[in-house]
Amino acid sequence: MLQVVYGTARAARATLLEEMHRDRKTVFVDRLGWQVPVVDGDLEIDQFDGEDAVYLIAVDEAGRHAGSLRLLPTAGPHLLADVFPQLCERAVPRGPDIWEITRLFTAPGQADPKRVRRELSLGMVEFAVMNGIRRYTCVTHVPYLSSVLAVGWDCEPLGLPQPHGGVMLGAVAIDINGETLAMLRQRRGVSGTVLDMVTRDAA
């Protein structure tokens, strides 16, 4: 099950979020070499980790962070609009029913990282259907684009990939509806929710 943690509940979920930010630093800064902010030398936290952020967090049997992603409403500041607008051939998609996916990853040392990523992809579609989100946008490294497209959802590029920090980045849009959720549940062999509504924090 995935924990749904709102940025407004950061203090209440401090331990789990600290584990997430520490793992983000290990993966994105130490391994991938991203030039992004690091707090206290140990936590990857940027300007978008505020009250508007919603985190879907997979936990292991001990309740520790196993993988996560961040969702941001595009009506406010977000990565594509504020950092990478040049990746969009036309205007950056924005609106109350368009959200952005960022920082999707699995924690170091996971025995089955593919299972965690599958659960996260299913969870973000379920969250979208439950909250009236019809489209996600996402900035991704070009080598990972094939993985995004392979999920089987309705996905389209927003512009031509461009170089950034020695890698090629591209922006995509993913359309979401009830059929998308049904398709993914069938592919994953899942019949019920993957979101832990008992622990979901109030917005």
Other CB atoms closer than 10 Å to residue 51's CB: what's the count? 11
Q: Decide if 50 contacts 79 (C-beta within 8 A).
A: no
What are 158-187's pLDDT values in tens digits? 999 999 877 899 999 999 999 999 999 998
How far apart CA 37 and CA 48 sit, in angstroms, is 11
pTM for the complete prediction? 0.93
- The token pair that represents 181 in the structure block: 């959720």
CATH of domain 2-188: 3.40.630.30
Domain ranges in the chain? Answer: 2-188
How far apart CA 90 and CA 182 sit, in angstroms, is 31
Residue 95 has pLDDT above 60, yes or no: yes
> With bands split at pLDDT 50, 70 and 90, how would you rate the model's confidence at 203?
very low
Residue with tokens 């979208």: 128
- The token pair that represents 70 in the structure block: 């961040």
Average pLDDT of span 43-70: 95
Using a pLDDT cut of 90, give the percent of the chain over it.
74
Residue 130 has pLDDT above 50, yes or no: yes
How far apart CA 129 and CA 176 sit, in angstroms, is 7
What 3-state DSSP class applies to 83?
Answer: coil
> With bands split at pLDDT 50, 70 and 90, how would you rate the model's confidence at 200?
low
What confidence score (pLDDT) does residue 151 get? 78
